[in-house]
């Protein structure tokens, strides 16, 4: 069993942002030379999530609209003392914070429309995502 760990880093431009990271994850897999295994993709921030779904802007808008309806960003929260990101913490839990994905023949083994996304809920700064590839 072998493993490879890399960190994706990028600057988020908006407070709430969805960034497609499929290609970057695949590049780490390519560098690992692992043909059969798993890849863990974990946002290293407590106000972000990694999600696998369709790359369709309407769906992305639906996610954000639904999260806002369930947990309004501007509502009053006990955590919002000196900051305003309690909703971002809750949104992260609702979306699920990380994913483990299969690797077959050295490639992400996805369904036809699946892509990997970084969901940022409290951005405008440097962010990191852990990508850990494990396998043979």
- pLDDT confidence tier of residue 81, bands split at 50, 70 and 90: confident
Which residues is 99 bridged to in the sheet?
41
Q: What percent of the chain has pLDDT over 90?
A: 96
Question: What is d(CA 19, CA 71) in angstroms, rounded to the nearest whole number?
Answer: 21
Mean pLDDT across the stretch 59-85? Answer: 94
For residue 113, give the 3-state DSSP assignment: coil
**Domains of the chain: residue spans and CATH:** 2-72+83-135 (2.60.120.460)
Mean pLDDT calculated for residue range 112-135 = 97
Question: Which residue is it, tokens 């299969």?
Answer: 102
pLDDT at 134: 98
Q: Which of 54, 63, 74 is nearest to 119 (CA)?
A: 63
Q: Which two tokens stand for residue 21?
A: 């990271």
Other residues' Cβ atoms within 10 Å of the Cβ of residue 30: 12
**pTM confidence score:** 0.95
């Amino acid at each position: 069993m072998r493993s490879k760990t890399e960190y994706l880093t990028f600057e988020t431009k908006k407070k709430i942002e969805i960034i497609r990271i499929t290609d970057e994850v695949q590049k780490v897999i390519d560098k690992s030379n692992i043909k059969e295994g798993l890849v863990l993709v974990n946002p290293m921030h407590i106000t972000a999530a990694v999600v696998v779904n369709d790359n369709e802007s309407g769906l992305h808008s639906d996610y954000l609209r639904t999260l806002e309806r369930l947990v309004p960003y501007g509502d009053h929260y006990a955590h919002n003392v000196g900051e305003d990101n309690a909703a971002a913490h809750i949104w992260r839990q609702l979306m699920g914070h990380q994913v483990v994905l299969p690797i077959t023949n050295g490639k992400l083994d996805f369904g036809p429309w699946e892509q990997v996304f970084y969901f940022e809920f409290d951005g405008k700064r440097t962010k990191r995502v852990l990508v850990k590839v494990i396998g043979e």
